[in-house]
Amino acid sequence: MISEQAKQELADALGRDYVKDDPQTLVTHSYDGTPMLQSLPDAVVYPESTEQVSQTMKILHKHRIPLVSRGSGTNLCGGTVPTEGGVVMVMHRMNRILEVDLENLTATVQPGLNTKQFIERVEELGLFYPPDPSSMAVSTIGGNIAECSGGLRGLKYGTTKDYVIGLEAVLANGEVLRTGGKLMKDVAGYDLTKLLVGSEGTLAVITEATLKLIPPPKHKKTMLAMYKDLHGAARTVSHIIEARIIPATLEIMDNPTIRVVDDFAKLGLPRDMAAILLIEQDGDEAAVERDIERIERICRADDADRVEVAATPEEALKLLTARRSAFTALARLRPTTILEDATVPRSKIADMVLEINRIAAKHNVQIATFGHAGDGNLHPTATTDARDADEVHRVEAAFEEIFEAAIRLGGTITGEHGVGLVKAPYLEWKVGAAGMDIMRGIKQAFDPHNLLNPGKMFAKAARKRVVIDRG
């Protein structure tokens, strides 16, 4: 619990209207996008500036009160659930574009800025910010940075970390740290900017970001390749990359996902296909047309049953919107939807999808798979009911085997959703004991009293990895 003295100090620093502990506000900030996780904070605060964030952290540091910083809470790893109480810091008041520098092609923004609104504003100025997480209509830039969000364009353009070139952040003791800047080159010491990107609020509170912008592509073309054989789709992914073609988007949907998305979006997708690849290329018109022709030949050589190229930009947008709606469509099936993101090398996509299907059948649970085939990032998604304890237990057991399978195939437990609370028991599977020791040392250097997002990333007890029975 927070003492009345601490609450009064917070009210003095932020204004009484921006420190809340009423039941409705506490409940509203007790969960995020992760199903079946909830924990009440003791108070919620709404800072307006870096100075107020710094003042807040000095107060919390003095009283040893934990803090969870959050944007819109769209993350799927329990990263913003205040499992140890304390204060939730909501960054929505810090939502401005501070500068768009047309000479350096950078934007300086506050963390509470909505991702989609930022992208649209940049595009109005004739520039391009590629990171496009599926949650971008709701999520914030600060949340994207904390989780190092990816998106459909990640194969060609990279993820959030590739566009964050400078940060302002407040440390656990209230000191303000500035890293990087409007620089394309900077090797002065450790790269603290990249360290903070993806640190999930465990090292500092991000208060400002300098982002790299690029010129937009001049032309786009979108196609669907449909397969009755999953291995044919997987071979196509590898062969496209092997041909030195890097599409802007290279997505996969398995049959259960195809059926659900078609029910939702009414696009007339072929419901008898084992897999669909959604492929978009962008760039100069001549290069795009050449790449699309080459990709079509590759698809047909790998026994695609049908290949269709979108005739208009509107048709292309419908296809991309359908892919982005996969999670929403699946969420309509059952009361509880659990979306994960195991990642494997591109060459192992078919093996991983088959493993997911085998594991789902073994545990008698419903799992559909879609994701970013071009970078090996798959999203096995279980539809279940949190009220059915036995089924939820089987879903959890299935995902544990899915994580193990991803590691065994040379992959990782998360490609873009983050570790948070949900994946913390499995982190050592990926980074090893030495890696965990290094990470704990970094956490200790930044936050010796464990006040920033405690309980995340570092599990109290790691899961013992076992060789899964594949029978």
Q: How many CB atoms lie within 10 A of CB 16?
A: 11
Q: What is the mean pLDDT of residues 10-30?
A: 98
Q: Which residues pair with 180 in a beta bridge?
A: 166
Work out the mean pLDDT of the chain and round it to a whole number: 95
Per-residue pLDDT band for 325 (boundaries 50, 70, 90) equals confident
Residue type, 68: V
Identify the band that residue 322 occupies on the pLDDT scale cut at 50, 70 and 90.
confident
Structure tokens that stand for 380 in this block = 């096995």
Residue 380 · residue 356 · CB < 8 Å = yes
Exposed/middle/buried for residue 126 (C-beta within 10 Å: 0-12, 13-18, 19+): exposed
Q: Which residues are within 8 A (CB) of 465 and not within 5 positions of it... i.e. 6 or more apart?
A: 404, 407, 429
412 secondary structure, DSSP code:
B
Percentage of the chain exceeding pLDDT 70: 99
* Rounded average pLDDT over 434-442: 97
| Per-residue pLDDT at 466 | 58
Q: How confident is residue 350, by pLDDT bands cut at 50, 70 and 90?
A: confident
CB-side neighbour CA atoms (13 Å) of 76:
20
What's the confidence (pLDDT) of residue 467? Answer: 55
Tokens 């209207």, residue located = 17
pLDDT-derived band at 471, boundaries 50, 70, 90: very low
- The string of DSSP codes covering 62-81 is HHT--EEEESS---SSSTT-
- Give 239's contacts (C-beta < 8 A, 6+ positions apart): 298, 301, 302
Q: Could you tell me the CA-to-CA distances from 404 to 134, 305, 398, 469 in Å, in that order?
A: 26, 33, 10, 11
The confidence score (pLDDT) of residue 317 equals 86
Does pLDDT of 111 surpass 80?
Answer: yes
